[in-house]
Amino acid sequence: MATSTGRGSAPAYESTRGSKAGDGRDKTIWLQLLCFLLVLAVWTLVSAVGMVSASALPGPRAVAGELAAMAGTGEFWGALGDTLRGAVAGLAAAIVIGVPLGLVSGTYAAVEQSSRLLVDVLRSFPVIALLPVFLLVLGSTSGMKATVVFIACVFPIFLQAQYGARGVEPMIQETVRGYRIPRLLRFRRVILPSALPSIMTGLRLAATTSVLVAIGVEILTTLPGIGHMVTQEQQSGNSAAAYAYIITAGVIGYSINRLSGVMETRLLRWRPPAQAS
C-alpha cells in the first residue's frame, strides 16, 4: 500500500496500518528525526538568546550533560526506584480491587446502574486534593503515597473492567446460562477474557496516572522520589538537573505507554483483529 502520491494521501482505514511498511516507513523516521532536531534547535535558540531566564529553561546541552552525569549516580536510581515502587504498589492494589469489582458490577445491570452516579462523582474527584487530609491522617509515609496512587488508579481500571464486562455478547451470555455454567467459572473463563481488551486499556491509563500521581505527591511532600528531586534541584539553583529529572519522568511515562501497547498485542493475540478497529 505504498500510496505515497505526494498529495497528502488520504488512505482508507485499513491501509493506514499497511502504508507504514516499506519505504514509507523509512521516510517517516527521517521526518520524525528532523522534527526532533527542529525542536532541539528552537529550544537551544530560545535559551541561548535569553528570551527565558536560564533558571526557567536551561539549554538542551546542559540538561543532556546533567542527565548523563546523573545516570551513573545511585541517587538517581534511588529516586527512580522510590517513585516506581510507590506507583507500582498503588497500581497493583488498584488492579486487585478494581478488576473484580468492575467485572461484577458490569455483569449485573442493576449494580452498574445504581453505582454509576456515585462512581462518576468519585472519579471526577482530583485525588491530589486529598493530600492535605491524608497528610494529617496517615502522615508523610510511603504508604500514604501508595494509597493516593491507588485511589487515582482504581477508577479507570474499575470503569474499563465494567465496560468490558458489559460488552459480553448476549448470545454468549445466553449460552452460559443455558449450560448453567457455575458463576465463578463464568467470571474466570467467559467474562474476564472478553473484558480483557478493555481492562488493558484501563491498565494503560492507570499506569500513566500512577507515575503522575506518585510524582505529584513527591513534589508536595518530603517523600523521596523523582518529584522530590525536581523540587530539590530547582531550589538549589540547578535547573538543568531539575529538567533532567523531568525528562526522566517523561521517559518513564512514554515507556509505560509503549510497553503496555506491546503487552496488549501480546496478550490479546488470540482475538480477531477485526475487533480492534
Partner 1 sequence: MHIVSNGLVRSFLKQLWLPVVVVAVLWVATARSGSFYFPPLSEMAGALWTGLTEGDLKGDLVFSLRNIALGTVIATVVGVGLGAVIGEYDRLRRATAPLLDFARATPTVAFVPVIILTLGIGAAPKVLLIFIGALWPILLNTISGVHGINPAVRESARSYRIPWRLRLLKVVLPGALPQIFAGVRIALSVAVVLMVVSEIYGSPVGLGNFILRSGSSFQVTDTWAGTILIGILGYGLSLLLLVCEHALLGRYFQRPPRARRAARTHAGHSSDPSHDAVQNADQNADQNEVS
Smallest distance from the beta carbon of 184 to partner 1, in angstroms?
24
- List of residues 6+ apart from 93 with CB closer than 8 A: 146, 150, 154
Interface with partner 1 includes 220 (CB under 8 A)? Answer: yes
- Is position 84 an interface residue for partner 1 (rule: CB under 8 A)? no
Site for partner 1 contains 81 (CB under 8 A): no
**Would you give the end-to-end CA distance of the chain in angstroms?**
18
121 binds partner 1 (CB under 8 A): yes
Binding residues for partner 1 restricted to 164-193, rule: CB under 8 A: 166-167, 169-170
Task: Decide if residue 230 touches partner 1 (CB under 8 A).
Answer: yes
* Alpha carbons 43 and 59: distance in angstroms, whole number: 7
Residue in 140, 142, 231, 238 binding partner 1, rule: CB under 8 A: 231
The answer to whether 202 contacts partner 1 (rule: CB under 8 A) is yes
Which of 146/200 has CB closer to partner 1? 200
Shortest distance in whole angstroms from residue 73 CB to partner 1: 19
- Nearer to partner 1 by Cβ, of 64 and 128: the residue is 128
CB atoms under 10 Å from CB of 60, counted, come to 18
In the list 92, 135, 267, 268, the residue contacting partner 1 (rule: CB under 8 A) is 135
Q: Which of 254, 259, 263, 273 binds partner 1 (CB under 8 A)?
A: 254
For residue 161, which phi and psi values (nearest 5 degrees)? Answer: -65, -40
43 binds partner 1 (CB under 8 A): no
Q: Name which of residues 61 to 80 contact partner 1 (CB under 8 A).
A: none
Closer CB to partner 1, residue 78 or residue 261? 261
- Torsion of the alpha carbons at 209, 214, 217 and 221, rounded to the nearest 10: -170
Selected range binding partner 1 among 43-51, 73-81, 95-103, 126-134, rule: CB under 8 A: 126-134
Name the residue type at position 183: R
CA proximity to 188, closest of 94, 97, 104, 95: 104
- Neighbour-count burial of 166, counting CB atoms closer than 10 A to its CB (0-12 exposed, 13-18 middle, 19+ buried): middle
Grid cell of 5 as nine digits: 502520491
Minimum CB separation of residue 181 from partner 1 in Å reads: 20
**According to CB under 8 A, which residues from 17 to 36 bind partner 1?**
17, 20, 28, 31-32, 34-36
Q: Which helix (H) or strand (E) holds 60?
A: helix 60-70
Q: Compute the distance between CA of residue 28 and CA of residue 97 in angstroms, rounded to an integer.
A: 42
Find the shortest distance in angstroms from Cβ 100 to partner 1: 19
Q: Which is nearer to partner 1, 171 or 184 (CB)?
A: 171
Say if residues 214 and 86 touch (Cβ distance below 8 Å).
yes
DSSP E strands in the chain: the ranges are: none
Residues in binding contact with partner 1, number by CB under 8 A: 80
Least Å from the CB of residue 4 to partner 1: 9
How far apart (Å, rounded) are the C-alpha atoms in residues 262 and 255?
10
